[in-house]
Amino acid sequence: MDSEALRKFSALHPRPAGLTLHYGTAGFRSAAQQLDHVVFRMGLLAALRSKAVTATIGIMVTASHNPEEDNGVKLVDPLGEMLHPSWEEYATQLANAEEQELQKVITEICQKAAVNLHKDASVFIGRDTRPSSKKLSQSVIDGVQVLGGQYHDYGLVTTPQLHYMVCCQNTQGQYGKATLEGYYEKLSKAFMELIKQSHCSGEFQRYLKIDCANGVGALKLSEMKPYFPQEVLIHIYNDGTKEKLNHLCGADFVKVHQKPPGGLDMKPNERCCSFDGDADRIVYYYKDTAGHFHLIDGDKIATLISIFLKELLAKVKQNFKMAVVQTAYANGNSTRYLQETLKVPVHCVKTGVKHLHHKAQEFDVGVYFEANGHGTVLFSKAAETKIRQLVKEEKDNEKREAAKMLENMIDLINQTVGDAVSDMLVIEAILALKGLSVQQWDALYTDLPNRLLKVQVADRRVIDTTDAERRALTPPGLQEKIDALVKKYKLSRAFVRPSGTEDVVRIYAEADTQENADALAHEVSLAVFHLAGGKGAPPQP
């Protein structure tokens, strides 16, 4: 390690006094002007991680659905997955180290993680469209180079595209070509192959309005347009030429406010969808003839995909194990529909993509989506090999056709991470193949009315949960109180969990009517306020 170079470059990216940041599920996120030292140091960490695992590591500069003034950075592990939890701790240590301690912290990481500094390092870098992203990604490059690493700067890409490239690189091209063209070609080819198998191709016409949150998704979708067949008519709104990133638009805005984004005019029964700022989440929606807004969130997306996959798996007659993975936030009626009507096993895990992804890996076919629209499908190596073999060797026509569809689904889905572009193409293909309108999709089940609230507390750590965050262990008496409140309402449930980032407790309640869901949420929030050290005035109904 060149101590002189480290000292010199570190001085160019000084750490503001008194600032402490933590690496969470989404990496680091903060106001952009506070991040220069962090991204420089994550360049260092990516080089160390690459040397430790002898593989290419990704670094994405983005703050996803946060306001444009913010930014963030996250690392991507060799197969396109999120950074290993033990390295999240190293990231936090390195980001918060005093300048003069930097070399010592690096040496400690090298000892703990058995990093050989003489090995080569390779890092792929991507960024979103925020005004601060270009300069920050230059700071990442400084960090990588100080430790003698090689880098490839992809410039403006969606977060899932960077995950995809890293996976392609480390599987020596088995997953695909590590270029944007490779990504567009693989997805569009699989999509067109699927659509070809659609029987209603005569009146086949896919007209879709897409709100791109004024983010990088608009640029990449425009680049991909020439790869689509004539029948696919996509209209891009909020393309970033006029308005600010994520301002009154994007998947997060639509999901939270339950209303259409600005900058998109909706006619009755038109299919519309929204990406978030870095295009790793998607939600669909439409307006009915009475002018009512209908949101189709991650739960309903998972349900549609599950119906389709379950039918195909039944046709290929293999003993594949399929399951859906949800969090406690999934609507109760989606869980009921999956378990009781579709007869698909459902597993509940703690909030956070890494928990969902990890659980989904246990099955031959694991479907996971968060209600916010972030999700994907994972196929086990064994299932994928078997499906590809059936396509080549199966004599029975129906079986072979079903296997072919599954093979195209495997190629169309970005298995590394939730990907709005890939998920959108999967949904569009399924709707076409099943001849479903957006209203018919929405009518699969009706969401139970629900309410999300938050209560400020002095210290969020007083709340400890179990059973995938559905039950509170501490403070004493809180869970008993919630159980008693839930008994008052029909089809009801409620849970509380501490926020991962701030001293607030999040409350979720659902019941048979909106009035009851609101009342239950309010009563639970009062219980949290009184038993878990609420701050300020008690919650008002």
Q: Is 500 annotated as a binding residue?
A: yes
Q: Is 29 annotated as a binding residue?
A: no
Amino acid, single-letter form, for residue 377 = V
The Cα 327–Cα 299 span in angstroms is 10
Q: Could you give the strand order of the β-sheet that contains 346-349, starting from the edge strand earlier in sequence?
A: 346-349, 322-327, 365-369, 375-379
Q: Is 370 annotated as a binding residue?
A: yes
Measuring CA to CA, which residue among 432, 384, 431, 425 is closest to residue 407? 384
Pairing verdict, β 122-127 and 150-156: parallel
Cα 440 to Cα 157, 231, 431: the distances in Å are 34, 21, 10
Q: Is 278 annotated as a binding residue?
A: yes
17, burial (CB in 10 Å: exposed 0-12, middle 13-18, buried 19+): exposed
Measuring CA to CA, which residue among 76, 64, 75 is closest to residue 30? 64
Q: Which of 10, 50, 64, 274 is catalytic?
A: 64
Q: Are 273 and 301 in contact (CB under 8 A)?
A: no
10 is an active site residue: no
Q: Is 43 annotated as a binding residue?
A: no
Q: Is 14 annotated as a binding residue?
A: no
Q: Is 288 annotated as a binding residue?
A: no
Measuring CA to CA, which residue among 138, 217, 140, 165 is closest to residue 424? 217
449: region left, alpha or beta (phi > 0 left; psi from -120 to 50 alpha): beta
Q: Is 461 annotated as a binding residue?
A: no
Q: Is 297 annotated as a binding residue?
A: no
Q: Is 2 annotated as a binding residue?
A: no
> What are the structure tokens assigned to 12, written together?
């160019």
Element holding 46 (H helix, E strand): helix 36-53
Q: Is 280 annotated as a binding residue?
A: yes
Annotated binding site: 64, 276, 278, 280, 370-372, 497-501, 506
- Active-site residues: which are they? 64
Annotated binding site for Mg(2+): 64, 276, 278, 280
Annotated binding site for substrate: 370-372, 497-501, 506
